[in-house]
A and B are shown apart, each in its own frame.
Chain A
């Protein structure tokens, strides 16, 4: 592992609640995997990040997107739909992490090909566990298609 230049995993967090952003950061700090957390606060910014627009000219293609549903400007559901309809980005796993327990949101999300749907745990310990689990599962356990984006290893 030390012989390879290990590029950190690029994680894009789309979250408008700074409290949750901070909690997510806290959770990821203790992770085994090397990762870079990019945070955008609304849907519009998320789209700019992906398409390298505005201040995100140099932004990388994320390895995973953690997406809240209720967002200002462009809604999280719309972000999901657009990403999954774009051949360039549709292989990127999207994890829905939201407070909504509404059946409708769950169904819609999977119909739009979300890779998994998680409601935010009310308890801090649980919340940290969940974030760690996401990171561990998607970055460590599953095999993702190689060569997508700028990854070369």
Chain B
């Protein structure tokens, strides 16, 4: 044991650091000279002292706990403060190690600022810490709790309160007070609250800024506890929070104005008075605000409104008034620049109010209009001379007087009937189909003829126009129907149809008659003709001269009758035995006719010219006949040295208009119509051959092609025949 202590004693004196040898009870058994110098004690003063006698930071329990830890781990390193002989404390760093079972060695280094040993290290450390603290946005200060003198401030602090503040009173610097602040939080962090952090928010009246503060008592270098505050600027968050609150206010205002507007128990004037009293927005300067709502000559003012300077005007768009304005003003004559007087939130709020008031008037108007239009409709419905009904989807009826009269019921009687009961049974199906289509949305309305049943059982013919009314959601509601009585028209129509039918029938019979007559007449006529000819042939010269003359007239008459009957047959065949329409090239038609007329043209030295001609849909053989007849006439009724014939065609709307002009004998105007009549002749047979049926046939052919034919002529100079052929004739597939 002694040997061990001796060895330790040697060791302690050779150490550059202070050194203790401590036994298991925490008692110093040996110290070296370095430690004595460090603390000013004599060795004998120190031997047998306890660790906690020197260590100001530790109680006896702390020492016991630490020694237990060292025995466990074998060593420890920590900083603490030791009391020197003069009563000051020094900061020390201790490295403790276990020495056998009974002792511990503690190497002690003085690291106190300003003391030789710790100087350099502390400088570096301080520099780092200060750099960090000065770069914080947060404000940090340390103040003595007793004297209120500022001991430390960081750079952020000096930005607001200046640099020469160390040693000044904190309440003076921060709050410009002569005495400690009434809200000082020292009582929250000292006494039995030491070590606790107190967090609070407050607005600095001097800077107007909001802070969140963390206050704590910390041990200062003197070893005493001082006040430290770390303050974070939260002005932005606070403003946001305020705006949020104002929004809420604005919303409340909008609702309130809506409440007033929709309150039916108060008059309109009261509504706007109430709103204008609610109005003063100006969250910033409520006491200076005045507001008005002005409709033409009517003013609604807030209670404190006298004669304000106008700050802001908001025009309302309401058709009922020439002008409607919300006006915000200020009562403060000193406010010059009013442009920035209202903040955006307040403008939003005014716009909300504007919309509310506009909608209120819009709603009032549309409501009124609805009422007016309903009255109009009712009057229109009731007083109409045309039958009207509103038919439910279920078939129920609401009718006007005219419709009730039409069917011989009273309006009330009809109201109890279903539409099926007044519809003629044969027409129920057709009406039903249309009703279903309207309900299905395939059509909006339907116009059709239908038969109703009169109370007396007779049929009432009507023409009906029905429209399905749907609600906003598009669901079918009811049919609005207009019913016109067309029974008389229907009777007339029926009569007309009957007459037309009879006429067509008789026309057909007539045509048939003409055909049969001309056909059947031909047989006996051929016999008459043949045998008179045979008679003439065999007995010419065998009888007397008179007999020969009689036979001549009989033969001649029979021949002419044959030609007439042939023409009549052809005429009757134009409509009854016409061919199907096909594409006809008029150039080819003209070409073949010119070949046919070649000899006659050469004989008469005629010059025939033509414009470009179209192709058209027509009965080919009839068109051929038409041109043949007209060209034949043009050649025939011409005694000029050089007959000239020109064929032209003009494209008219829906028609081709052809013309065939000649320089022939011409026709007097009084015959322009007559010449198209059957068997009408203008010349004696001696002069010009013909039966007088050619132009009638032309007329019938043109009519069959939906066209017209007419003539223009100057007597002695020439004639132009015009005719049109429809472009819309359909080519048949046959």
Interface residues of A (CB under 8 A from B): 17, 19, 23, 26, 99, 120, 122-125, 127
Contact = CB atoms under 8 A, between A and B. Distances in A.
A26 B522 contact: no
B534 A17 contact: no
Nearest to B526: A122
A125 B529 CA distance: 11
B328 to A, nearest CB: 101
Interface SS, B side: helix
A122 B522 contact: yes
Contacts of A125: 533
A122 B533 contact: no
Contacts of B537: 124
B538 to A, nearest CB: 9
A124 B522 contact: no
B712 interface: no
Contacts of B526: 99, 120, 122
Contacts of A123: 529-530, 533, 559
A99 B523 contact: yes
Q: Would you list the 5 A-B pairs with minimal beta carbon distance, nearest first?
A: A124-B533, A124-B530, A19-B527, A122-B562, A122-B526
Contacts of B523: 17, 99
Interface of B: 522-523, 526-527, 529-531, 533-534, 537, 559, 562
Nearest to A121: B526
Nearest to A103: B577
B530 A127 contact: yes
Contact of A19 (B522, B531, B559, B562): B531
Nearest to A18: B527
A79 to B, nearest CB: 20
B525 to A, nearest CB: 8
Nearest to A70: B523
Nearest to B563: A122
B566 to A, nearest CB: 8
A124 B562 contact: no
Q: Which of A19, A26, A120 has the most CB of B within 10 A?
A: A19
Contacts of A17: 523, 527
A19 B523 CA distance: 10
Contacts of A122: 522, 526, 529, 562
Contacts of A19: 527, 530-531
Interface SS, A side: helix
Nearest to B536: A124
28 contacts: A17-B523, A17-B527, A19-B527, A19-B530, A19-B531, A23-B530, A23-B534, A26-B534, A99-B522, A99-B523, A99-B526, A120-B526, A122-B522, A122-B526, A122-B529, A122-B562, A123-B529, A123-B530, A123-B533, A123-B559, A124-B529, A124-B530, A124-B531, A124-B533, A124-B534, A124-B537, A125-B533, A127-B530
A120 B537 CA distance: 19
Contacts of B534: 23, 26, 124
Nearest to A100: B519
A17 B559 CA distance: 20
Q: Which of B526, B533, B562 has the most CB of A within 10 A?
A: B526
A56 B522 CA distance: 33
Contacts of B529: 122-124
B557 to A, nearest CB: 14
Contacts of B531: 19, 124
Contacts of A120: 526
A113 B526 CA distance: 28
A17 B534 CA distance: 17
B216 to A, nearest CB: 128
Contacts of B527: 17, 19
A77 to B, nearest CB: 18
A19 B522 CA distance: 13
A120 B523 CA distance: 10
Given A123-B530, A124-B530, A124-B534, 4 more contacts: A99-B522, A122-B562, A124-B529, A125-B533
Contacts of B559: 123
B421 to A, nearest CB: 57
Nearest to B533: A124
A124 B551 CA distance: 14
A122 B519 CA distance: 12
Contacts of B530: 19, 23, 123-124, 127
B594 to A, nearest CB: 27
A17 B531 CA distance: 13
Contacts of B533: 123-125
A99 B526 CA distance: 10
A125 B538 CA distance: 12
A125 B562 CA distance: 15
A123 B526 CA distance: 7
Contacts of A26: 534
Nearest to A127: B530
A50 B408 CA distance: 80
B521 to A, nearest CB: 11
A127 B562 CA distance: 15
A123 B525 CA distance: 10
A123 B566 CA distance: 13
A122 B525 CA distance: 9
A124 B534 CA distance: 7
A17 B537 CA distance: 22
A122 B562 CA distance: 8
A17 B688 CA distance: 37
Contacts of B522: 99, 122
A120 B527 CA distance: 11
Q: Which of A17, A23, A122, A127 has the most CB of B within 10 A?
A: A122
Nearest to B524: A19
B537 to A, nearest CB: 7
A19 to B, nearest CB: 4
Contacts of A23: 530, 534
Contacts of A124: 529-531, 533-534, 537
A99 B530 CA distance: 14
A122 B558 CA distance: 10
A120 B525 CA distance: 13
Nearest to B535: A124
